[in-house]
Each structure stands twice: as structure tokens, then as C-alpha cells.
Amino acid sequence: MRDVDLAIVGAGPTGLFAAYYAGFRGLSTVVIDALPEPGGQVTAMYPEKMIFDVAGFPAIRGRDLVTNLVEQAAQFNPGYLLGVRADTIDHLDGKPVLGLSDGTLLNCGSVIITGGLGSFSARPLPCAAGFTGTGVCYFVPHLDDLAGHHVVIVGGGDSAFDWALALQPLARSVTLVHRRDRFRAHASTVARVQALPVEIIVNAQVERLHGTESVSGVEVTVKGDGAPRLLPADTVVAALGFTADLGPLVDWGLDLDKRHIKVDSTTATNLPRVFAAGDISDYPGKVRLIAVGFGEAATAVNNAAIAIDPAAHLFPGHSSDAG
């Protein structure tokens, strides 16, 4: 049994900012996430995409936002337990005890759930199921890794077109394949990609991946055409979207509304000493934005501090006074 003042379940932007605020409040903190690196959905889905609605930054790349949040929290040395799930919750002497998927038990003063969409996984590319080589990915952590590659992107949503925009200046070629002739992506993004030397193949089905140790080509058929077409490919980006669910959290006894956790104005859930912030939480008038999650993280930490120590003050003081 490991003791910690505050356990934060979810290492996305809200959880990382909560880790900073917990340190500012003098709380020992551990951040838990099933993904192998911090950043949550930002790292997994759009690390290279520009974000325009974070206060103080006219624009900031997703990866840079995560790096800054980790650096901001690092001054207080939070612990990270990555690649593991928070599976169970019990209470011992009124305090939450988390059971993790690796067998670790955390005796917590309080818990803040900042799990975003919950556990999520990429929708698979059907023809990749039997392919044993490399070169198939569902997001691109580092754009430079694909420099000089023939890249085939499969999908018609925002992620597919975002990857096309980001990769076109670096890749040897970019081809986008979609099974319909209409796109889910924002019209302005589609127009930007159409203006680039990116081939867009519609009404097309990816039938087979060629190659042994790695991808060498992608075989597609176009509705109404004759023979299949073989596209050169070093990398296939399957941008087919993600499915999400709350995973083990549904068994914790939380008051849920579909995929969200109901909270009050202090971000408290119906479980003692358990709070929720960010996209996973819900209350009347909720707006799911990173900017809102940052405010909820501060609210959650400061109310958790009182739950841990009733003699503590709710107002944390101004960070500028702390030097």
C-alpha cells in the first residue's frame, strides 16, 4: 500500500494542470494513465495540430502544450504511473484506495478523475488485421519520422485531413483514400488540402496491404472502376476515428450520465473525497474545452485540499506571491 495525498486519474491537459496545482498546494501527487506517455487525447490524436483557444497562446502545437504542462508540474515532482489503469476503488477509514492494473494499491487523501473521454482505442483498418509487417499507424507522434515517405492516409474526417496538411510538406507523396465522396472534415480544411499536391481518391476501398517486413504498397478499388490500383506506400495512417468508454470507472459506483460523471459546483462526485474535472465531468451548462478543464482542475484541487485537511483554506493564494 502506497500513501499519497492526491491521485489524478488521467494525464491529459486537465490532469497535468491539476498536478501543478496540487504541488502548489503542497500535496504529494501521482498521475495515472493507461497510455504510455502523458498528454491524453492531445498526444494520441493530434500532437502536431495547432490549438488556438488556450489563454495566453495565440496558437500552440498540441505536443508543445503537453510539454509545457509537464514542465510546469515538474517543479513539484509529481509521480507518474503510465501504461496502467485505475481499475478499482474502495474506501478505508473514509479515504479512497485505488487498485491499479499492475497490482499497485494507492491509499489516497483524495482522487481527481480527469479521464477525458475515458479509455479509447483506434478503429482498426480491416485489411491490416492479417498484416504482420510495420508501417501502419493510427496517429503520428513525430512528423519527422515520415519525412521522405510515400504516405497513404485512410479516412475522411478532421484527423485524416489534418494529417494530410501536416505531412504534405515533409512526405515524398501524400494520398488520401476515403470510402465515400463526402467528407466529415471541416469544409475549410478540405479546401486547403485540395489546394495542395495531395491526391484524394473517393468512393474507394482499401483491399490489401503489400509488403513483408514493412508496407510497400496499398491496393485500393474504386467503385465503378475496373482493376484494383496499387499505391506506393511506406506508411499507412489509418485515421478512422476512435471509440471511447469509461472502462472500469463504470463499476466504481459513480453517478453517471452516459459517458460522463455528474459533479457539483465544487467538482465533487457522489463518492467521498472523489472529484472529477475536464471532459469526463458533467453539470448543467457544461462546455467541453481545454480552457474550461484548466479552471475545473484548479477548483477540484483546492476543494480536494480541504477534504484532505479541513483546516486548510479553499483559496490557495496567488502564485505570483509565492515567487
- The span from the CA of 22 to the CA of 42, in Å, is 22
- Residue 57 is assigned to a ligand binding site: no
- The span from the CA of 193 to the CA of 184, in Å, is 14
Cell of 12: 491529459
- Residue 33 is assigned to a ligand binding site: yes
Total length of the chain = 323
Calculate the CA dihedral of residues 251, 285, 20, 6 and round it to 10 degrees: -30
- The span from the CA of 316 to the CA of 259, in Å, is 31
- Residue 279 is assigned to a ligand binding site: yes
For the chain, the distance separating the N- and C-terminal CA atoms, rounded to the nearest angstrom, is 35
- Residue 205 is assigned to a ligand binding site: no
Ordered DSSP codes for 94-132: TEEEEEETTS-EEEEEEEEE--TT-EEEEPP-GGGTT--
Strands 173-177 and 199-201: parallel
- Residue 46 is assigned to a ligand binding site: yes
- Residue 120 is assigned to a ligand binding site: yes
Cell of 119: 479509455
- Residue 144 is assigned to a ligand binding site: no
- Residue 245 is assigned to a ligand binding site: no
Cell of 120: 479509447
Binding region = 14, 33, 41, 46, 86, 120, 279, 320
Binding region for FAD = 14, 33, 41, 46, 86, 120, 279, 320
